[in-house]
Chains A and B, each alone.
Chain A
Amino acid sequence: MTANILDGIVLGLQFGLLAAGLTLIYGLGGVLNLGYGQIAVISAMTVALAMDAGVPVLPAVGLGLLAGGLFGLLLDLTILRPVYRLHGEARVLLSLLLTLGVSFIVDGYLNWRYPLKSLSLYIGGGAIDILGVPMRRGSLVASAITLVTIAGLFVFFRSTSLGRAIRSVIEDEAGARLIGIDPKKMLRLILVLSGVLAALVALTRSMIAPVDTTSGLSITVFALIVTVVGGLGNFVGALLAGIILGIVSVVAADLIGSYISLIILLGAAAVTILIRPAGLLGVKE
């Protein structure tokens, strides 16, 4: 049981970080990015290709993070521009449809061009005992990186003026504009940040299991489920939901088999939407 819970936390931290990237764009700009998983895949493929070309691991990882950020910027500068002209539900709907189109383009191209390519950043060395459970080194490194990133995000949002500016836009866009914050700039910044987060999740995930060109859809789906359970636009909620769903998923997979565990995960998300549409930590409007 302890092993399951630890595995669940490892998975849950990644779920949480994954959802954080998606939920921030929604909270800030009312944009639901269905091409989110594809950003992760693009960065994983960048790293894999760079390493094939003989680039050492660390610079290759840097390139991967850069690719994720740049793709986020590209989305902001191109297909999201018409989306920003709309408001409310129409904006979410158009962003959802357009990014679905983007995800098809990316998936189709990558599957055609690099059909069998996958990235796994294997970390050697023996298992390390945590609370009496032997854990793989890859899982631990991945979790450490994820935890540091989450802590960094907390510090960024609580203690830097830029982070506070972003939070102020999420809370009250008109008010933020009155005190001289440009919501559009903040949104662009968040799209780049969410691209980097997607890239980071892809890279840490590849330390545990390979990431290939078809992983995009499942990454998007998990991100979406965790985001919805945590409450759209709620950063802390996303992290909490990620850890809970990670544990649920691993325990259910161990007790009753993996396909039912997916259904349980999906069911949990559906029930959360129906009972608390605003998410776990959401305040009812």
Chain B
Amino acid sequence: MSDRLTRRAGTFLIGGTESHTSRSIPALLLPIIVVGAALALVPLWLGESRVFMGVAVLGLAFICYVIGFNVIFGGTGQLFLCVGALAGVGGFGATILADNAGWPILLSIIAATLAATLIGGLLSYVAVQRSLGVIFTGIVTLIFSLSFDALLLGLSYLTGGDTGRLIKSGTDTFLRERVPPYYLMLAIVLVFLLIHGLLRRSHIGWAFRALRDDEVAAELAGVDVARYRVYGALIGAAMLGLAGSTYAFTEGRISPTTFGFGHVDVVVLVMLAFGGIGTLLGPIIGAITFTIVDEILIDFGQLRQVAYGILIIVLFLWMPRGLIPTLGSLWLRLHGQKISDPAKSTDSVAGEQEAASGKAQSTE
């Protein structure tokens, strides 16, 4: 009896919302193509300068990090404070395999990505098994971050310690030219966007949304919360590992700060909070904005950190859904449209669609 009830609740929860997103593949591809086309034009503008292309490649790497973090935190509500460390497993792992063990670059990237994936999955599996809440998951992953950092400093014969390591592999290839690395990273960004977009439309995406909105209800409705949490962490960690290892080869020099907690995790958190947690394009908007802001503030040195601190406070106090979704719903409100339940869904696109479908129903 309870089994039947559960199953019916499951159809209600998962099948019931399906009518809202009758998004076809073209509707999914369109924003990704637009983003890709816009970003593809950047080298025409900055392509002459090696410095600015370096900044642009780093910006793309950050987009990848934010997408990966968004899948884990925005998708399944697991506060992974080891974004930099997982990317660093990719970056240091791949370059050590290529330089010290003589592996081909592609193979070492795959191996390091796999390692990051496994670590991310393991962290999530342990957190889920011990049913750690958001806070303890955050603390355990933070501990992993700090241990990784200590390990990097300790194993200085491999990692170069504080000064970092120069990467010999790929020196004379396209990876170190001015513009091609940009397009390589851009391709990765677009693949990540596509994966995230498809994920949101698949049963995994529905499960993510269900478990994030109400974990207990999702569990009762037959969603295997533990399994989907681990899925989310595996996918996100794979993205982080791949982005970190590819970025390391294009950069040619990495140090513990390249993947440090203050340099990556906090920035990624701000970028995602700014763009909108859980949204598809939020990571792009957040990462681009802050890459530019960071360049503008570069002369202010330590005061940049102050600016980040103020932004964290402002964003989480007044716009917990992200600046862009907040502005979006404000715009809709000004134009006399009502959003069905903005507080419940951090997903602005879904929110807008719900609003649209609600309106359509009321006019019928």
Contacts and interface: CB of A to CB of B under 8 A. Distances in A.
Interface of A: 32, 79, 82, 89, 92-94, 96-98, 100-109, 111-112, 115, 217, 221, 224-225, 228, 257, 259-260, 262-263, 266-267, 269-270, 273-274, 277
A107 B328 CA distance: 34
B134 interface: yes
Interface string B306-332: 111111110011000000000000000
A102 B136 contact: no
Contacts of B266: 100, 104
Contact of B143 (A96, A260, A266): A266
Interface residues of B, number: 38
Nearest to B141: A270
B201 interface: no
Contact of A263 (B151, B301, B317): B151
A104 B306 contact: yes
B323 to A, nearest CB: 15
Q: 9 tightest A-B contacts by CB?
A: A108-B305, A104-B309, A259-B154, A101-B312, A105-B309, A112-B302, A108-B306, A101-B313, A111-B302
B133 interface: yes
B310 A89 contact: no
B303 A225 contact: no
Contacts of A93: 79, 134-135
A112 B135 contact: no
Interface in B127-167: 130, 132-136, 138-140, 142-144, 146-147, 150-151, 153-154
Given A101-B312, A262-B150, A269 B143 contact: yes
Given A269-B143, A273-B136, A102 B309 contact: yes
B135 A270 contact: no
Given A101-B309, A104-B309, A277-B130, A266 B153 contact: no
Contacts, number: 108
B127 to A, nearest CB: 9
Contacts of B153: 259
A98 B147 contact: no
Contacts of A105: 305-306, 309-310, 313
A270 B140 CA distance: 6
Interface string B66-92: 000000000000010000000000000
Nearest to B138: A96
Given A82-B317, A100-B266, A270-B140, A259 B132 contact: no
B305 A111 contact: yes
Given A98-B316, A270-B143, A104 B150 contact: no
A98 B126 contact: no
B302 A104 contact: no
Given A89-B134, A273-B139, A259 B150 contact: yes
A260 B147 CA distance: 9
Given A93-B134, A263-B151, A274-B126, 18 more contacts: A79-B313, A82-B317, A89-B135, A92-B135, A96-B138, A100-B266, A100-B309, A100-B312, A104-B266, A104-B306, A104-B309, A104-B312, A105-B306, A108-B302, A108-B306, A109-B303, A221-B146, A274-B130
A120 to B, nearest CB: 22
B264 to A, nearest CB: 14
B304 interface: yes
17 contacts: A92-B134, A93-B79, A98-B313, A101-B308, A101-B310, A101-B313, A104-B266, A104-B309, A105-B313, A108-B306, A259-B150, A262-B146, A266-B143, A266-B147, A273-B140, A274-B140, A277-B136
* Interface residues of chain B: helix, strand, loop or mixed (majority): helix
A267 B144 CA distance: 8
Interface of B: 79, 126, 130, 132-136, 138-140, 142-144, 146-147, 150-151, 153-154, 262, 266, 269, 301-313, 316-317
Most chain A CB within a 10 A radius of its CB, from B126, B143, B317: B143
Find the residue from A101, A111, A270 having the highest chain B CB count within 10 A: A101
A98 B318 CA distance: 12
A107 B146 CA distance: 18
Contacts of A274: 126, 130, 140
A222 B188 CA distance: 38
B313 A102 contact: yes
Contacts of A97: 269, 312, 316
A28 to B, nearest CB: 16
A77 to B, nearest CB: 15
Nearest to A218: B146
Contacts of B133: 89
A181 B134 CA distance: 31
A221 B301 CA distance: 24
A78 to B, nearest CB: 10
Contacts of A94: 316
A108 B150 contact: no
Nearest to A111: B302
Given A104-B266, A104-B312, A273-B132, A224 B305 contact: no
B146 A257 contact: no
Nearest to B79: A93
A102 B309 CA distance: 6
